[in-house]
Structure 1
Amino acid sequence: MSLLTIAASGMQSQSQQLDAIANNIANVNTVGYASVNPTFADNLTQVYGQPLPVQGLPDRQTPAGLWLGTGAHAVFNHANFALGSDKTTQNPLDMAIVGDGFFTVALSTGQVGYTRAGNFIASHDAKTGKTYLALPDGTRVLSQSGQPLDLTGIAVNTLRVAPDGTLSGTTMNGVPVQIGTLGLAYIAHPGSALYSVGDSVYALNPGYRATTNATPGAPPSLFGQVHGFMLEQSNVSLTEQMTQLVATQQAYEMSSTAVSIANKMMGLENQLR
C-alpha cells in the first residue's frame, strides 16, 4: 500500500511541475514575466521503532528505527526574479527598470501591486474624463506619493522618463510640464515575499514589507534606473524549460509504472490462499 501511495504522490507532484513548466513556456514572450518553480516538501514520515538496547550506540550515525517516506507535495510556487533581457522599442510609454526595483500599481483590492512589466498605456476614464498611466488591463500605475499618475492633457508621444522615474512631457498646447515621479519599490527576497495576482503583477505576503522611493533615507540605487523606450523581457530560458520538461515527463512515467507494479503486487497478494 505504501508503494501505491508514494507512486501516486510522485505522479501528482510531477503533474504540478509539468503545469509550471507549461506555464513558463507559454509566457516566454510575456513582458516582465518571472518564471515559476514549485517547491516540494516531504509528506509525513513513518517511523518504525527498534528495541531500546539498539538505540544510542556510540558508532551509529543515523536515528534509531526505520524511517520510511510517504511521498512529497507542492507547498509553494517560487517565482524567479532574475532580470530578463531588455528590448528597445519605439513607444514612449514603454519603460524598464535596470536593477532590482519594481513599479507600483493600484490593485482592485486596495492593495499595492508590484510589477516589472513596463508596457504601459494611456488609459482614459470615461467617468472622470481623465487619462492615467496604466497597465494594459487598465490597472493604474502609482506615483511616488501613492496616487495614480495623471496624464490628462499630455501629448503621449512627448512623454519622457528620467533614470529616477521622474516623468515629463508636453501639453497639447506645447507647454513643457513635470508630470510626477513613478512609484518604485525594493523588496528583499521577492521570491518568498511576493505572490502572483496575475499578468506579471504581484502582492506582498503577510509579514513582508517593501521599501519605496518615498521612504526617507532610502538610497536611489536601491530601486535601479528607469529607462524609457525599453521593455524587460521574460526571464524564461526555453532551453532550460524544455530540458526540465523531458526530465519531468520521464519521472511522471516512472511513477505511473510504479503504480502499475503496485497494483499487480496487490493483485497477487489478494490471490494468495
Structure 2
Amino acid sequence: MKALNIAATGMMAQETNVAVISHNIANMRTTGYKEMRADFQDLLYQTLRRQGSSTSESGTQVPAGVQIGSGVRIVSTPRMMSQGDPTATGKDTDVAIRGEGFFQVLMPDGRTAYTRDGSFEIDSTGTLVTEDGYTVQPAITIPQNASDITISNTGTVQAKVGNATTTTTLGQINLARFMNKTGLEAIGDNLFLETSSSGPAQTGNPGDEGYGTVLQNYLEASNVEAVSELSSLIEAQRAYEMNSRIIKAADEMSQTTANLS
C-alpha cells in the first residue's frame, strides 16, 4: 500500500527534525550559536484525474481532480540569525556584536572563517586569538606591558603601554557581513565559511552603515529558546507516533485484504 511508504517518509523526516531540535538544545549555552530549523517539502504526486480535464463533449471540466502524494522530506535546515542576548563577563578581551556582522578568523590552512563568538584570548606573542588559537583578522598585537585595554563600540583597540598616562591605539576590529547569512557553511567550533550561496564577505568597521557595533566585557548568548524547542520536540514526537500508527493501520488493512482473496 502507498500509505506504508508515505508514512515511512514522515517518520524519517521527523527523525531528522528531532536531530535538529536536539542539536539546538545541546547548544543552548554555546556562545553566539544560532538556532536551526527543519523545513519540510512534499514529494511528487501521482495524478489519477487531472484538474481541468474534460468530462463531456459540452465542455464540462473536472474542478479538483485526484492526486495522491508520496510523502515528505526535509528540504533545508536554515539558521535563525536573530540577535542573542548580551551576557556580561567582565573580561577585557570578550566582545559581543550587537547587530549585523561576524568576526573574521584566520584558519591554519589560510582560509578566513567567520564567527559571532567573541571570547578572545591573548597568545604568547601578544596576538588576539580565538579560544582555539586562530588569529583574529586583521591581526592585533597587544604589548606585554599594556594595561587598561579598551575596545570601543566602533572596534578600536587601545591600551596604556608601559608607564604612559595616555592610551595608544593597537588595532581595529573589523566585521564582515553577507548578502545571505543563512548560506554560510557551518564547520563547527562556532565557525562559518563563505559559500557561493552566502555571497562574498563585505567588510567594514563596527558602527559603519549596515554593520553592528561591538560591546566589550560581554559575550553574545545563544538565541535558542528552551520553551520553543521543547514545544517543537513534543510536536515532532506526536507526528512520529501518528506516522507509525498509519503504518500499523495500513499493515492491518493489507492483512484483511489478503484474507479476503
Shorter-chain TM band: 0.7 to 0.9
Partner of 2:134: 139
In the TM superposition, residue 252 of structure 1 has moved relative to its aligned partner by 0.9
Contact 2:54 2:60 in 1 (8 A): no
Structure 2: runs of 5+ lacking an equivalent: none
Q: List gaps (5 residues or longer) in structure 1.
A: 125-129
1:163 aligns with 2:164: no
Contact 1:116–1:200 (Cα < 8 Å) also in 2: yes
Q: CA deviation at 1:59?
A: 7.4
Q: What amino acid is aligned across from residue 184 of structure 1 in structure 2?
A: L
Q: Are residues 1:256 and 2:256 paired?
A: no
1:164 to 1:264, Cα distance in 2 relative to 1, 3 A: same
User: Secondary structure of the residue that 1:74 maps to in structure 2?
Assistant: strand
Aligned residues: 256
Partner AA of 2:54 in structure 1:
P
Q: Is the 8 A contact 2:207 2:213 kept in 1?
A: no
RMSD of aligned residue pairs (Cα, Å): 2.6
| Cα distance in structure 2, aligned partners of 1:260 and 1:80 | 37
Q: Percent identity?
A: 28
Cα 1:267–1:137 shift into 2, 3 Å: farther
In structure 2, the CA distance between the partners of 1:249 and 1:163, relative to structure 1 (3 Å rule), is same
Q: Measure how far apart 1:187 and its partner are.
A: 1.8
Give the match for residue 127 of structure 1: none
Question: How far 1:37 moved relative to its partner?
Answer: 0.4
The structure-2 alpha-carbon separation of the partners of 1:93 and 1:219, relative to structure 1 and needing over 3 Å to count, comes to closer
SS in 1 for 2:137: coil
CA distance in 1 between partners of 2:256 and 2:39 (Å): 37
Counterparts of 2:146 and 2:228, CA distance in 1: 39
Alignment partner, residue 190 of structure 1 = 181
Query: Is the contact made by 1:34 and 1:200 (CA closer than 8 Å) also made in structure 2?
Result: no
> 1:54/1:122 Cα in 2 relative to 1: closer, same or farther (>3 Å)?
farther
SS in 2 for 1:87: strand
Residues 102 and 223 of structure 1 are in contact (CA less than 8 Å); yes or no, is this contact kept in structure 2?
no
One-letter amino acid matched to 1:240: S
